[in-house]
Amino acid sequence: MMEEAWERNVASGFVPVRTISDSLKELEGFITSIHSAAEGNAGLPQRSPDEYSGGDNNYTTQVAPLRQADYQYFDEMSEYQHVSPNAINTYTGRVSMALKQKGRKPLAKKTSAIIPPWIDVPEHSRFFVIKSSSLENVKKSFYNGIWSSTYFGNKRLSEAYFNLPKGSKIFLFFSVNASGRFCGVAEMISGLESGLDTSIWGNNEKYDTAFKVRWIVVRDVQNRLLKQFLIPSNDMKPVTNSRDTQEIPPAICKSILKLFKYDQTNVQSFLDHGYT
């Protein structure tokens, strides 16, 4: 009776035509696919330790499939979870690649550069280039809060200081000769004084007077970024070709101050360990 009912259902279209042989073949295919997936990782090629290494250790140049050894594993005798070293290396590589693809830059190296959040530049302020023969002299200026130029340079700066309108400032842009960069900005906060300790420079006869300074910015800005600024009073030469105590137009100096504040390429300063 059951066979007759089955045949009637098949004939009427209520039951699909399907045999026991068809079901067995489908089950065999399913079991085969499970075994293939489980054994897939064993057939992957072995990676060399340098396969992920790129020019920058923070990034990877290739992301390969995980091997079985890269998976997390658990110690049956412990409640703590352990992660294999290969898993850590692969995870780090994948995260680094993701950051690179998003355009994120690697963290910059630590620096002791001083870059204030803002710089007060009152109206009628004046700006001068300071050319130093020695980086050590600039460092001593920073640590002692004084500076002294040549006789005529000191005279020019002193006159500018005493003729300033009330509330205005004098800004000094420091550069060491032949260094290829400017290294900081200081404010002149006094006129020439004879009682300051100029022995820090080892030549009291040459630097018998000095004036006080307050350092505002301590960081490098490369000359290549400054060559675009031409000085009318110096035969339209770039600001990088300025002489000691050369006065710079306010509009140009405000643009240079923006470079000191906002340029993020290779931020370093003479306060950094190992600075050259």
Question: Would you list the DSSP string of the chain?
Answer: -HHHHHHHHHHHTSS----HHHHHHHHHHHHHHHHHHHHTGGGSPPPPTTTTB-SSTT-BS--PPPPGGGS-EE-TT-SSEE--HHHHHHHHHHHHHHHHHTTPPPPPPP---B--S-----TT-EEEEEEES-HHHHHHHHHHTEE---HHHHHHHHHHHHTPPTT--EEEEEEETTSSEEEEEEEE-S--BSSS-GGGGT-TTTTS-BEEEEEEEEEEEEGGGTTT-EEGGGTTEEGGGPPTT-EE-HHHHHHHHHHHHH--SS---TTSTT--
- For residue 220, report the phi and psi dihedrals to the nearest 5 degrees: -90, 145
Q: How far apart are CA 80 and CA 122, in angstroms?
A: 63
Q: What is the dihedral of CA 113, 117, 121, 127, to 10 degrees?
A: 20
Indicate yes or no: pTM above 0.75.
no
Report in angstroms the alpha-carbon separations of 262 from 21, 107, 211, 257. 76, 17, 29, 9
- CA dihedral in degrees (206, 211, 212, 217; nearest 10)? -80
> Which pLDDT belongs to residue 205?
72
**Residue in the structure block whose two tokens are 């420079």:** 201
pLDDT at site 274? 85
For residue 106, which amino acid is it?
Answer: P
Average pLDDT per consecutive 10 residues, the chain (276 residues; last block may be shorter): 56 56 61 54 44 32 35 34 44 46 54 93 98 96 97 96 97 97 98 92 82 98 96 96 97 95 90 87
Positive or negative torsion for Cα 110, 111, 116, 121: negative
How many Å apart are CA 240 and CA 173, to the nearest integer?
A: 11
Q: 170-176 and 146-147 as β-strands: parallel, antiparallel, unpaired?
A: unpaired
Contact 130, 175 (CB under 8 A): yes
Domains and CATH numbers, the chain: 50-107 (no CATH), 126-262 (3.10.590.10)
Contacts of 137 (CB under 8 A, 6+ apart): 201
Beta bridge pairs of residue 126: 170
Q: Would you list the DSSP string of 33-65?
A: HHHHHHHTGGGSPPPPTTTTB-SSTT-BS--PP
Q: Which pLDDT belongs to residue 206?
A: 76
HSE-CB of 235 using CA atoms within 13 angstroms: 3
In the numeric block, the tokens 């399913």 are attached to: 30
Q: What is the pLDDT of residue 123?
A: 96
